[in-house]
Each structure stands twice: as C-alpha cells, then as structure tokens.
Amino acid sequence: MKRISKSHKRKSSTATFEYRSLLAFTACLMNLNKWNIQAYSEHQEKNVVHWLIVQILKLSV
C-alpha cells in the first residue's frame, strides 16, 4: 500500500508541476502579447483556446 501511495503522490506532483509550468507559459504569452489580449478581451472566453494555439504557432515559426 505504501508503494502505491508514493507512486500516486509522484504522479499528482508531476501533474501539478506540468499545470504550473503551463500556467507560467500562458502568463508569459500574455505578457508578451498584451495588445492581442486587449483586442480579444471582448470575446476572450470563446477564443482563449484558439488564441493560445495562434500564439504557440507564432512562437514555433
């Protein structure tokens, strides 16, 4: 039982780390593209996923 709980804790901590890094990456994108956020602010809830994809594509090109 102890081994299972330890491995579960490791998985959850890894997921938390990935989530935090994703939040940090998103915050970095937002800081780099504040004018884009202002332009999309009216429809932010609808387009936030699309906006993130566009920003990632811009960085990768």
Q: Does pLDDT of 55 surpass 80?
A: yes
Does residue 34 carry a pLDDT above 70? Answer: no
Q: Give the whole-angstrom CA distance, residue 37 versus residue 60.
A: 19
State the average pLDDT over residues 1-11.
55
Strand ranges inside 1-61, DSSP E = none
pTM: 0.33
What is the reported pLDDT for 17? 78
Q: Using an 8 Å Cβ cutoff, are 31 and 55 in contact?
A: no
Q: What's the pLDDT band for 6 if we cut at 50, 70, 90?
A: low
Confidence at residue 4, expressed as pLDDT on a 0 to 100 scale: 53
Q: What percent of the chain has pLDDT over 90?
A: 0
Q: Tokens in use for 61? A: 């090109």
